[in-house]
Chain A
């Protein structure tokens, strides 16, 4: 009985050490799941917002449809380059309704390995329904239904 009382303090120490290890392990384990600002998820969201903002601006000015339907790929590339921040690289692909790539020239800015090595790549999908065409005989404008799907990939350089 005396021996048990004498060793009671030592047992408490061992319990405390074990409890400390469990708490430390639990905290470390929880940290693995923490979403930090530098996590791919967060950065991609920010790039997505930026990409959508630029495409929306171009569309609002009536230029996006002109570039796509007139196949002015160089102009589209130049426009994206001046509107996106310097350190943002992009790669755009334009598809028709059947998923066939329409742009015969690359709409790309960045290092050659940017999109294969970058951990944070955002992708924005933007749709164009069609364009207005002037009827030469009547002079009236006619809406032409010819959807295009724009996929804009963005990454930090």
Chain B
């Protein structure tokens, strides 16, 4: 055969082998390449998770007061981390920092994009979920909310609070012997009262109910349930009758701040007293209002009232209860005129019995990694779950 043809055939064969290698070899190791990619993603996720849960960030109190104000600005944050300052324990988170992730926080929040930039995750997306350790629902399994209350309203007419809830694991299996401590705060036109904590336990099918005598027939009532399993995991549930959205309760460090809710009615408010529930279950008096504690919720400043209570944060307060006196607008209540109201807060959207979600969602069905850790926030146990994925540029 002619040497020229021989070399042409050799070039063709070598070319085919080269093209074949380019196509076949990556396919052969595609699974491993994908796995290595996922491992890289997992390492990044672990680093991000450690930065979030074990680091305090810079400045260390970035979730609290900065530049003399409790209105949050991301400009002052150099590094982000949710760990509590001054505590050597791992996975102990600062409620002030966690509530800055809540996009409904009236005092400002850290947006997802700002968080991504601070964590240096421009080419990654993530979502963070704070999951309660167990479920507390109505007996029929529906979520407790304004339309589905576990209170038997008929019983209230007989000056009795009667409630029933179901406590279950996240997979729906009932939790027997869970401890439920109920405290009711209730008002009528001129009266304000609260019950001492009543404790009951759930039965074999996870249902806990109680009947608590009241001093008078309430018009407004707020019930606070502190539910714990094996004394370890605790969640707090609040619900009531005739809620009026007249103030937003906020807490930053030792400061309690009342802000004007969106579309707030124009009402004159007098602050009578404040109580707080510790994560341990004790209900304490915090403040008795004076003639100075008076404000209007109509147009004007966003911040209606604030006060500093030194050492408040050390108690791990989970709920603040405000007894206020006001004249709600006619369309807000069927019970007109001056009346006392009990309002509970803060943390309406997180640190409760619902899953709190922050961040984005994967745009494609590509690889994503998920890691979880158990954390303590304000003396209560939660599971924090981070999902991280790579975003196409």
Contacts and interface: CB of A to CB of B under 8 A. Distances in A.
A13 B9 CA distance: 9
Of the candidates A24, A75, A83, the one having the most CB atoms from chain B within 10 angstroms of its own CB is A83
Interface residues of A, number: 45
A20 B381 contact: no
A46 to B, nearest CB: 7
Interface of A: 5-10, 12-13, 16-17, 20, 23-24, 27-28, 31, 34-38, 42, 46, 50, 53-54, 56-58, 60-61, 63, 67, 72, 74-76, 78-79, 81-86
B373 A50 contact: yes
B383 A57 contact: no
Interface stretch (B21-29, B66-74, B104-112, B282-290): B21-29
A78 to B, nearest CB: 4
B316 to A, nearest CB: 12
Given A9-B7, A78-B175, A57 B91 contact: yes
Contacts of B92: 60
7 contacts: A5-B3, A9-B9, A20-B21, A36-B38, A75-B232, A76-B230, A86-B171
Interface in B358-393: 369, 371-376, 381, 383, 385
Contact of A78 (B36, B42, B230): B230
Given A27-B25, A37-B38, A37-B39, A82 B232 contact: yes
A13 B10 contact: yes
A56 B53 CA distance: 15
Contact of B3 (A6, A24, A35, A50): A6
Contacts of B25: 24, 27
Nearest to B369: A37
A12 B92 CA distance: 67
Contact of A31 (B3, B29, B374, B376): B29
Nearest to B170: A86
The prevalent SS among residues of B at the interface is: mixed
B17 A79 contact: no
Interface string B1-45: 111001101100110010001001100110010011011001000
Contacts of A20: 17, 21
B229 interface: yes
Interface bracket on B: 35 or more
Given A79-B232, A82-B134, A82-B233, A17 B17 contact: yes
Given A10-B10, A75-B231, A78-B230, A61 B376 contact: yes
A17 B15 CA distance: 11
A85 B383 contact: yes
B309 interface: no
Interface string B85-129: 000011110000000000000000000000000000000000000
B51 to A, nearest CB: 15
Nearest to B171: A86
Contact of B6 (A6, A75, A84): A6
A35 B40 CA distance: 12
A31 B32 CA distance: 7
Contact of B13 (A16, A27, A53): A16
A53 B91 contact: yes
Given A13-B13, A57-B376, A82-B134, A75 B3 contact: no
A83 B7 contact: no
A57 B374 contact: yes
Given A16-B17, A54-B374, A83 B6 contact: no
Interface string B163-177: 000000111000101
Contact of B381 (A34, A36, A82, A86): A82
Contact of B229 (A35, A57, A79): A79
A37 to B, nearest CB: 4
Given A42-B39, A83-B381, A34 B32 contact: yes
